[in-house]
Amino acid sequence: QVQLVESGGGLVQPGGSLRLSCTASGIILSAYTMGWYRQAPGKQREMAATITSTGRTNYAESVQDRFTISRDNTKNAVYLQMNNLKPDDTAVYYCKATIWTYWGQGTQVTVSS
């Protein structure tokens, strides 16, 4: 059974940092373009960042220059380093291959004073 587990979320103050992790079981991620998505309260889910199998990255304008997506194929994992966090970054964050329809539980990120 395929399972993705997101972790690393939490409560931080504006300007703080978090590093999210996504680990997979039941499937090898190396050949997939992977993405981090987020859904804020009352809003539609949106793409935050993607990374291809060769390491090419793409970011939503709202997170560009603040977030960094990366992957480690030896660990079958994808990461999202989030710096200079803003209250508008508050959301549940999910990882997923771009072509998949499966969504996991996600990890909550709350940015507040």
8 has pLDDT over 90: yes
Q: What is the DSSP string of the chain?
A: --EEEEE--EEE-TT--EEEEEEEESS--TTS-EEEEEE-TTS--EEEEEE-TT--EEE-TTTTTTEEEEEETTTTEEEEEE-S--GGG-EEEEEEETT-------EEEEE--
Tell me what pLDDT residue 97 has. 96
**Residue 79 — very low, low, confident or very high, per pLDDT cuts 50/70/90?**
very high
Tell me what pLDDT residue 71 has. 98
Task: Average the pLDDT over 15-20 and give the result.
Answer: 98
Tell me what pLDDT residue 2 has. 85
Task: Average the pLDDT over 21-49 and give the result.
Answer: 96
